[in-house]
Chain A
Amino acid sequence: MGLSFLEGNEAIAHGAVAAGCNFFAGYPITPATTVYNTMLSLLPPSGGVCLQGEDEIASMGFCLGASMAGKKVLTATSGPGISLYSEQISFAIGSEIPVVIVDVQRLGPSTGSATRGADGDVQFLQWGSSGGLPVIVLAPADVRDCYLLTVHAFNLAEKFRCPVFLASNKEIAMTKESIDLSAIPLPDIVERQPAGPNQPFRPFASENNHSAPPFLPIGGDTLVRQTSSTHGTDGYITIDPAVIESMQQRLDQKLMAHVDALTFYDTDIQEGADTLVITYGVTSRSAVDAVASLRSEGKAASLLVLKTLWPVPEAVIRQLAAPVSRVVVTEMNMGLYLREIERLLPDKTIGFMGHMSGKLVTPHEIREVVTNG
């Protein structure tokens, strides 16, 4: 067996290439820069394009243009860059432009701490765009996830024609780990559904009210329109309330009607346990250790590690929490995803372990809350 030694950011770049990504644009920012560096070494020699924009807004603009020309596009930044991406993200949501966006979270707010980790953006990624529509956010826990979830992220972006976020964290992104990428089973690669020939092409006409429209690239033989304005199926601006509403509902339902297909999670359920630890991202690694050490002392506990944060996997969470009376949420912030769990499980006792200190939540800290409340 052979092992490579990679940091999370490098694994994301390799995952992107494995998924067929052929266009990257970004602006350097710690702790996301090594995604860009790695894409720069991978793409240009193999016919792809890797660009450094004059700022984050430009980088996202390059990606949206290239995606509409049919490329599979990736960008990577951190909290301050996501802030600048915001209006472009809204555009990608409303105008159904596939793009995978890596947010290597660092301690905020604002410029915060460039080299300290946190999971402080997990609500921001869902709600940091205008219009309030759902987005997909996946959360890797380690180098393996960085590789595998990036492939899933591309598949989801292509299938649902939407931005897909990878909510990474400095503590995963810049930590090197031993890994055998070739041993990780990857899903089949999904391509955008092309529009059929011999029909007048309507760029936003979908087959039903809960799926993405078939795609044709800008620059092909068929004329294609793209617009950030509120549009009808023909891609022209509209003020017809019925058309507007059906478009908005489809944008909502194309994700919300398919939550099962975009939900990833790991479980470690112990028969008879009365506590379920719910976690995600780098903190899940401490939770795994904490649960193992509790069990070694004869204490029962179950574990749910969410890999999809948005749309919230409500059914999975409710179902796994059903047998327990107590839930402990642990995350690398002061309780952001906790809000979702409290909303879903009003009848459970809910404990919490998390902080914004730049330090990882430790297994010991999680054990304390599970044991002593």
Chain B
Amino acid sequence: MGSFLNTDRPPVFCPGCAHERVTSALDETFQQMELEASEIVIVSDIGCSGLFDTFFNTHAFHGLHGRALTYATGLKLARPELTVIVTMGDGGLGIGGAHVLSACRRNVDLTLMVLNNFNYGMTGGQFSATTPSDAKVGSSFLNQLEMPIDACRVAASAGAGWVMRASIYEKHVADQLTAAIRYPGFSMIDLWGVCPGRYTKQNNLTPKSLRAIMDGLPSADGPVPENQRKEYGKHYAEIAAGLKPQGPPPQIEARQNAPDHGKNGISILGSAGQRIITAGEILCLAGMSAGLHATQKNDYPITVLRGHSVSELLLSDTTIGYTGIEQPAVVIAIADEGVARRKSMIDRLDENCLVIKATDVDVPASRAQVHEIDFKAWKIKSQDRALASLAVLAGLDRIISADMLRAAISFRFKDAIAASALVLMDNVAGHLAA
């Protein structure tokens, strides 16, 4: 197979730039792998290494600094058959650090080539994440204050399955690249070279001295035994194949008749653990079982397991506009935390409002009618108070009927839970009758 080098756009690097060698090595790799050009996408980053996509007649994607791995991940998961190669400098390695770590952890079948020349060439030789602290760079003394990272050790510890440190001046780079690309998971090659345009103007670095530095580092020569595992995309497909497709959202049929008309607001004031939000949903479903429009808004702290829990519902036989409740028809007060949260609303209640309150909850005096329930005497647990209050409402035939509530319970809950909710309803009805 022939070269994929784009003869219309030859490399434009400074004389002696390592990137020129990388370009030839990559072309040689494609030839020895016998890939079709249309099977390859080169995703390039920013900086001098960001020019790579233009040198090859393959698919190409050039984006923002440090983000090349993110596009590559999207491309590969959308088209798993593609060979996706990312070229990035040590600059991209630093600014895109979170993406490098995540790519190592994720193990999507991509190959990351870090074209490591220890500085930002294009912008003037500033220090990067791999610049030695004693190097002379375009950032004055700032690199003396920071430690360089070893990309290979970082990648291996982040979970990469294949990591290699290599010098562009040594033999077999095309073989090394071939092995990286053939690896069926995420592979990273940390390819060292010099930047004569910037770095070696002030720092003495030769192929020999590069080798000497490399020999002093822990080896990184391909597979990382402890990180071998399934490739992300294949694993994803494997798990997804076992998932049940979701149908359209379930619908409750409108078969009941509502006892009340107009627009009615209901506030349920409780605390975490009282299943307030589920009860609010049940109330709305009960309304919907009679063809009413319904809205539900909830208010609870971000730390969901403590504090207030408030659910505000509207049921209406006409379309609901504003979803706030200015004057509720019913307030269900079953915990002090919820009442405290809506104190100003309680002060405004008028004589048409019904307050269903637990005996042990303090509700400030208002003009509303009050129906008090001694849940303890009824042997109803705290987490059942909200649902029991709905049963009280249905028992009083206010806003919802018992049939509407039963329809909602049967729609929302399955088997045992539905059965115990219906038992609770009967229990409440018995107490109300007594």
Contacts and interface: CB of A to CB of B under 8 A. Distances in A.
Contacts of B293: 177-178
Interface stretch (A64-72, A192-200, A256-264, A342-350): A64-72
A4 B249 contact: yes
A249 interface: no
A65 B78 contact: yes
A267 interface: no
B78 A66 contact: yes
Nearest to A231: B62
A221 B38 contact: yes
A360 B243 contact: no
Contact of B64 (A53, A63, A91): A91
A10 B249 contact: yes
Interface residues of A, number: 79
A368 B306 CA distance: 39
Given A54-B102, A288-B321, A218 B62 contact: no
Contacts of B321: 285-286, 288-289, 292, 363
B291 interface: yes
Q: Binding site of A, secondary structure by majority: helix, strand, loop or mixed?
A: mixed
Given A23-B74, A175-B296, A286-B321, A49 B236 contact: yes
A325 interface: no
A23 B78 contact: yes
A10 B72 CA distance: 29
Contact of A227 (B9, B60, B302): B60
A44 B240 contact: yes
Contact of A58 (B70, B298, B326): B70
Contacts, number: 224
Interface in A218-244: 218-229, 235-237
A62 B77 contact: yes
B292 interface: yes
A171 B41 CA distance: 43
A177 B294 contact: yes
B43 to A, nearest CB: 8
B53 interface: yes
Contact of B295 (A64, A66, A176, A225): A176
B407 to A, nearest CB: 12
A88 interface: yes
Contact of A174 (B69, B70, B287, B297): B297
A368 B368 CA distance: 28
Interface residues of B, number: 68
Contact of B298 (A42, A57, A70, A174): A174
Interface string B77-109: 111011000000000000000110110000000
A181 B249 CA distance: 8
Interface string A285-302: 110110010000000000
B249 A6 contact: yes
Nearest to B42: A225
Interface string A157-191: 00000000000000100111110111000000000
A293 to B, nearest CB: 10
A224 B245 CA distance: 34
A219 B75 CA distance: 9
B67 interface: yes
Contact of B61 (A44, A65, A236, A360): A65
Given A51-B77, A223-B37, 9 more contacts: A2-B254, A5-B288, A49-B78, A61-B73, A174-B297, A178-B294, A219-B75, A225-B60, A236-B54
16 contacts: A5-B281, A5-B285, A41-B246, A53-B102, A58-B98, A58-B99, A61-B99, A62-B73, A65-B71, A65-B75, A68-B61, A175-B295, A176-B284, A222-B38, A235-B60, A237-B54
Interface of B: 9, 37-38, 41, 43, 53-54, 57-64, 67, 69-79, 81-82, 98-99, 101-102, 236, 239-240, 243-246, 248-254, 281, 284-285, 287-288, 291-299, 302, 320-324, 326
